[in-house]
Structure 1
């Protein structure tokens, strides 16, 4: 499960790899309830105006806050959604059933490697140097603060047999990994109806990723 990552925030990389302009107020190092970019279909993409982009990057909180939640702190436990239960869990089911798909643009994620007997922060990124597009869900909430607040979650799949992600998290715990999309899936995922969402819940090939120990990765800092 991913609770810490470095967001893709450089304007030139967001434009080149995701075709979006960066939103304001985003942080590069992200923990739950930090504001970071997510990419969705522009709500007015079908109006026929060439000035309206097909995709837009929005600043949202990392940790899904469903429309009925009355507290922002709800997002501290909803930053990842298990693909096996996302359709039934009250926190996620509305976003899943309504096909509120998004892409989370990421430079790298961090996971704890326990093979040495204690947690070693480990950076995971693409070998080719491109940013990672993670499949997610987004929603908006006005109940918690009275203002509209966007938030998002990353979808995950089992990784017990994945050549890379099987090494992370405590011994005996189920291994999980975020759903990393191929570039040619970006538009498909954003457009997919809820009935097709599960088609994308697949492991990303381990040979296209690399992991690097980063023992000095600091504690949460704002």
Structure 2
């Protein structure tokens, strides 16, 4: 499960790798924890009107941790930053976003997971071996109950990783191993436009040989 990551906030990298630009005047921190603001990419709501001036995708800013439309507190998102693909269609927190196909892509430079192989949790940085950013499959939601104004939030989807050559090393011994769903670039538009009945087709492990991990023991000591 991923509770900490470095977001893609560079204007150039967002444009080059995701084809989007952040709204004007947005200034975001790179390191992200639950309930922090971060960018996510979704299908533009008017992408199908036939106007070439309307982009296919748009970048939005939301809180990391999905707050469904019926939730009355922003802090709800501190426990919904990841969604298990096996139960996402039934869990009250996620089922509306899943059933309505509210797909998004979370632009990520690198994620952090605890490596327990030496008996203690060592924060470890995981990123693509080729240096390119990752696009993580997620769901987004809109909420007006928690603040009285529209609040956008998002979550990352996860799959089992007990047999994954890299992610099987993270989290406590005996716990189920999980990993976020990292999309391939050619899947970005497919994911954003996929109907709900096709969503599970994307819930796959990303190949371990395309990733690299590096211990970063000071990560957990930094102030949030």
Normalising by structure 1, what TM-score? Answer: 0.98
Tell me the residue number matched to 1:59.
Answer: 61
Deviating more after overlay: 84-93 vs 14-23: 14-23
Tell me the residue number matched to 1:41.
Answer: 43
Check conservation: 2:66, 2:141, Cα contact below 8 A: yes
Tell me the residue number matched to 1:145.
Answer: 147
Tell me the residue number matched to 2:156.
Answer: 154
User: Does residue 22 in structure 1 map to residue 22 in structure 2?
Assistant: yes
* 1:62–1:220 distance in 2 versus 1, CA, 3 Å: farther
Deviating more after overlay: 79-88 vs 17-26: 17-26
How well do the aligned residues superpose, as a CA RMSD in angstroms? 0.9
Check conservation: 1:84, 1:157, Cα contact below 8 A: yes
Match of 1:130 among 129, 132, 142: 132
Match of 1:215 among 192, 214, 217: 217
Q: In the TM superposition, what whole-angstrom CA distance separates every residue of 1:158-207 from its partner, at most 9, and x where no partner exists? A: 00000000000000000000000000000000000000000000000000
User: 1-side partners of 2:159 and 2:222: how far apart?
Assistant: 26
User: 2-side partners of 1:190 and 1:178: how far apart?
Assistant: 17
User: 1-side partners of 2:124 and 2:137: how far apart?
Assistant: 21
Tell me the residue number matched to 1:90.
Answer: 92
User: 1-side partners of 2:62 and 2:78: how far apart?
Assistant: 14
User: 2-side partners of 1:102 and 1:37: how far apart?
Assistant: 10
Q: Name structure 2 gaps, 5 residues minimum.
A: none
Tell me the residue number matched to 1:185.
Answer: 187
* 1:203–1:140 distance in 2 versus 1, CA, 3 Å: same
Tell me the residue number matched to 1:115.
Answer: 117
User: 1-side partners of 2:177 and 2:213: how far apart?
Assistant: 16
Check conservation: 2:168, 2:177, Cα contact below 8 A: yes
User: 2-side partners of 1:220 and 1:213: how far apart?
Assistant: 15
Q: In the TM superposition, what whole-angstrom CA distance separates every residue of 1:143-168 from its partner, at most 9, and x where no partner exists? A: 00000000000000000000000000
Q: In the TM superposition, what whole-angstrom CA distance separates every residue of 1:35-89 from its partner, at most 9, and x where no partner exists? A: 0000000111122222211100100000000000000000000000000000000
Check conservation: 1:138, 1:151, Cα contact below 8 A: yes
Check conservation: 1:111, 1:168, Cα contact below 8 A: yes
Tell me the residue number matched to 1:205.
Answer: 207
Q: Displacement of 1:220 after TM fit?
A: 5.9
User: 2-side partners of 1:50 and 1:191: how far apart?
Assistant: 17
Tell me the residue number matched to 1:9.
Answer: 9
Q: Name structure 1 gaps, 5 residues minimum.
A: none
User: Does residue 70 in structure 1 map to residue 76 in structure 2?
Assistant: no
Q: Displacement of 1:26 after TM fit?
A: 2.5
Check conservation: 2:123, 2:220, Cα contact below 8 A: no
